[in-house]
A and B are shown apart, each in its own frame.
Chain A
Amino acid sequence: MAEQDWKTSKRTFAAVSLPTLFWVVVFFLIPMAIVWLYSFGENRGLTEIEFSGTLENYKRATEWLYLTIFGKSFAVAALVTLICLIVGFPVAMAITFASEKWRPWLLLGIMLPFWTNLLIRTYALMMLLGTQGFANKGMGALWEGTSWIKTLVGLQPLPTWEPVQLLFNNFAVVFGLVYVHLPFMVLPLYAALDRLDRSLIEASLDLGAGHFRTIMRIVVPLAAPGIIAGVMITLIPALGAYLTPDLMGGTDSQMIANVIERQFKKANDWPFGAALSFLLIYAMFILIAIQSMRKKVPEVR
């Protein structure tokens, strides 16, 4: 359907475009521009900031300490995305091939946590993982059970169960991020798998390929756009995650968002925080550029 040239009905165009453009410019582009400007400024006294055009903030951001935090954030986000993909893919398959009766309920099951407050979900997980929580109690019970069985067969009992520290470390951050982002991965995967031509899978199975091989050679390549979409939708928020590392992480599991927050709330170094923010935004842009480049490749072939 042909789009209308804006000149043919200027009044309608103005009516639909001006409010949006106004909002985007005033309440999005200008705030972002302010951050960008601040990132080239320096602190003068407590509240005054001078825009001196210095690159000092960016230089400081490339210090080893901050580079390792960037690197670590990437590693954590990538690991979380990978786990979500491995856990989520079979779920998306199951939803796709579920009966008409079950599919809506399975979808609802995935979507409801997606809509539940992030903070509440994180808090719920913290309750479960604490040293007094159920995860520890469950493992303790298993431990006691094993110990009891060992004494039954005449072996030495295991030493008494010491609660494991499941919270406030890197494990907790990854676990929490997977918990929070899993629905983000399953929904786009489902959307892609649902569009798949099933006769291709049947053909592959008829021609003698096993289920695993069919999935790896037929389903995965065909669902690639959905897989990439799912990866991006999980990777980007995981990279910028603040709440989960803040509440569930330990002193050594700071991610980049926590460092940025500290510049504003505690260290009071706005220019440096602004520079770190823009570095994070540039990282997002690079990820998206890589994604759109990959999208174009199959079309060329």
Chain B
Amino acid sequence: MALFARAPIAPLEYSRTLWMRLWVGAVMVFLYAPLVVLMIFSFNDSKRNVVWRGFTTKYYEKALGNDQLVEALINSLTIAALATLASLVLGTLAAVMLWRFRFPWKGAIDGTISLPIIVPEICLGVAFLMFFAAVGWPTDLVWPFNLGAITIAHITFCFPFVTMVVRSRLATFNREQEEAAKDLGASEAQVFRDVLIPHIKPALVAGALLAFTLSLDDFVITYFTSGPDTITFPVKVYSMVRFSVTPEVNAASTLLIILTVILTFIALKAQGVKAIAETH
């Protein structure tokens, strides 16, 4: 792509003007340079992270050999998967409720459902810490049940996002399809399964991706709800960053970045960039 346009620049082709390109380029460098440097230096054969001393994969071996780190990653993925599944169910039900029915206190209920999106993470974390302490939630359960508290907290802040995405998709649903299905003898459950679900499928994919990454990403709420035996990946990385910055963190981070990129591309394959952009 030539930096200088061949055809004269039309007035609205802002993206073809030089200063715009420089600006966008600078922003992209700003966004990506730290991540790229982090990934490159995960292969650096030096403990101090700053000078390139040759290629090595030993920090990947070290990261993957670090039982605590691997356990934390498995915990994180398990929680994310469970939270995504539950958020999809709850979020879809809530979206259908708000889209289809008229009922008393609707405005208040609608507002309350989206409240977890607005309430600051730190307050939600504090609330769960106090809640689980107050109800005396058992902390000595076996895996995976010991992840219950964190999973519950994650579902609470993930499912409103699913509701949001599914609801905007439902707005484009043609009610006549539902009526036609019913005229042809479909039951309420059949209409839901065979007509409504196929229509909102793209929103479900987007919502699932959103919930999964939000759950995987969360540090603050997990930090307040996790016990000594239920360390998640962000909590583990946090303590590693806090106490000693090692190339091991770089290696582990690179693996997670790659996972994010793979997930993103799966979502893109399923949906296309534009549809996903619109869900934000």
Main secondary structure of the interface of B (DSSP, over half): helix
Q: Number of B interface residues, CB 8 Å? A: 89
B238 and A116 contacting across the interface, CB-CB below 8 Å = no
B24 and A106 contacting across the interface, CB-CB below 8 Å = yes
Closest Cβ of chain B to A124, distance in Å, is 4
Which chain B residues in 98-145 approach chain A with CB under 8 Å?
Answer: 99-103, 109, 112-113, 115-116, 118-124, 126-131, 134
B280 partner, pick from A13, A103, A188, beta carbons under 8 A: A188
B219 and A243 contacting across the interface, CB-CB below 8 Å = yes
Please, how many angstroms separate the alpha-carbon atoms of A10 and B26 in the complex?
57
10 intermolecular pairs with C-beta atoms under 8 Å apart: A29-B112, A35-B126, A35-B130, A91-B24, A102-B15, A115-B264, A127-B41, A182-B30, A260-B123, A261-B122
B241 partner, pick from A108, A119, A274, beta carbons under 8 A: A119
B109 partner, pick from A9, A21, A202, A239, beta carbons under 8 A: A21
- Cβ of B146 < 8 Å from any Cβ of A? no
Interface residues of B (CB under 8 A from A): 11-15, 20-21, 23-24, 27-28, 30-35, 37-38, 41, 48-50, 89-90, 93-94, 96-97, 99-103, 109, 112-113, 115-116, 118-124, 126-131, 134, 152-153, 155-156, 159, 175, 188, 213, 216-217, 219-220, 224, 234, 237-238, 241-242, 245, 249-250, 253, 256-257, 260-261, 263-264, 268, 272-274, 276-278, 280
B260 and A6 contacting across the interface, CB-CB below 8 Å = no
Which chain A residues in 108-124 approach chain B with CB under 8 Å?
Answer: 108-121, 123-124
Interface residues of A (CB under 8 A from B): 1, 3-6, 9, 12-13, 15-17, 19-21, 23-24, 27-32, 34-35, 38, 87-88, 90-91, 93-99, 102-121, 123-128, 130, 132-134, 179, 182-183, 187-188, 190-191, 198, 201-202, 205, 211, 236-237, 239-240, 242-243, 247, 257, 260-261, 264, 270, 273-274, 277-278, 280-281, 284, 288
Main secondary structure of the interface of A (DSSP, over half): helix
B101 and A201 contacting across the interface, CB-CB below 8 Å = no
